[in-house]
Amino acid sequence: MKSPEKVPPTQGSSSASNGNTASAAPPTLEISEAALAGMELETAAPKLAPPQAAASGITAVQTAVWSSDKRVNSLYTTFNPRNSWMGIVGIGWKKLATTSDSTTEAMTMLAAHCREKNCRIDFSEENGLVKEIYVW
């Protein structure tokens, strides 16, 4: 399991240091094609814009893009598996990773916590999906 690479910001500092740690790869869950038959895995993005969302946002293509010190102002999900989104103030909707059901659920719970407490969130987006979240 991959361990966090960042440390929480120290009091009086607005940035976090980035230290690399070696770790083993996380376990993967294989889903058979038969289990996926009939499931609608990719769905359209939310139709409503989150409050105060800017019209222009950064979209990552083939590279990870970090967004730091942001706030979650809205959440969106449906009954479809692995379809969870968070609205970021000033950016807009960001789809959470679809690697596994537990990944999507864990990230949704972190985003919900940030929405409830209005706390800082740092996240990494790669190929249009949020792959890593830090909550302060």
Per-residue pLDDT reduced to its tens digit, 53-111: 545 555 544 678 899 999 999 999 998 899 999 999 999 999 999 999 999 999 999 99
Q: What is the pLDDT of residue 63?
A: 73
The SS3 assignment for 106 reads: helix
**42, part of any domain:** no
* Beta bridge partners of residue 74, listed in sequence order: 87
**53, part of any domain:** yes
Is the pLDDT reported for residue 16 higher than 50? no
**93, part of any domain:** yes
Q: Which helix (H) or strand (E) holds 34?
A: helix 33-36
More confident residue, 131 or 22: 131
Q: CA 123 → CA 31, 39, 93, 110, distances in Å?
A: 27, 28, 13, 11
Domain that holds residue 95: 48-135
**Are 111 and 72 in contact, with CB atoms under 8 Å apart?**
yes
Whichever domain contains 117, its CATH number is: 2.40.50
pLDDT, one tens digit per residue, over 18-64 is 444 455 566 666 666 666 565 555 566 777 766 655 455 555 446 78
**28, part of any domain:** no
Q: Is the model's pTM score more than 0.85?
A: no
**88, part of any domain:** yes
Q: Per the structure, how many domains does the chain have?
A: 1
**82, part of any domain:** yes
More confident residue, 50 or 125: 125
Q: What is the pLDDT of residue 17?
A: 45
**103, part of any domain:** yes
**27, part of any domain:** no
